[in-house]
Amino acid sequence: MNSKDVAFAGLFAALTAVGAQISVPIGPVPFTFQVFFVLLSGILMGARLGFLSQLAYIIIGAVGFPVFAEFSGGFAHLYGPTGGYLVAFPIAALLAGYITERSNESAMGMAISVLLGLAVIYLLGWLRIGFYLGGNFVKALELGVLPFLPLDLIKAALAVATAKTVRKMVGMT
């Protein structure tokens, strides 16, 4: 890993932290812009750097820096209702990056990769909320998945469009 890789991974960890502050509390899970940066990190930087950027974000937040939604931080967030989403971020970036790389950065490959990355985020988030709610997975679906789906699909589409534009601007395609 060279200094450019470290800088890009750090940049996306910081962008994810900024995305967390674009937050609208609507229940136990706030609406944020993190998902956009999580998915973009994978499809733009690839599986390895996307994963590392999101892992850095989680570690920074877990040790107490206020990078999570509403300028919060601390290890307890990983056990709270949003912990499943947070843990899913590095995995989603890894998966989105891996599929994008294997598809030769095609638009269809990126679209599939962000949808699968989003599915990972929802799955782990839904499971964590379900356990947090004492095993009420129907309520977890109602609180932690369904309200977010339309806007997250838009964020996923924006991530693909942004990646395609950035790739074209910097000569990556």
Domain with residue 72: its CATH number is 1.10.1760.20
- How many independent structural domains does the chain possess? 1
Q: Which domain holds residue 48?
A: 3-161
Does residue 149 lie in a domain region?
A: yes
**% the chain with pLDDT above 70:** 99
Per-10-residue mean pLDDT of the chain, 173 residues long, equals: 90 97 82 95 96 98 95 94 96 98 92 97 97 96 94 96 90 66
Encode 26-91 in three state secondary structure: CCCCCECCHHHHHHHHHHHHCHHHHHHHHHHHHHHHHCCCCCECCCECCHHHHCCCCHHHHHHHHH
Q: Indicate the pTM of the whole model.
A: 0.94
Residue 173 placed within a domain: no
Residue 170 domain-assigned (yes or no): no
In a domain, 105, yes or no: yes
Residue 168: the pLDDT is 86
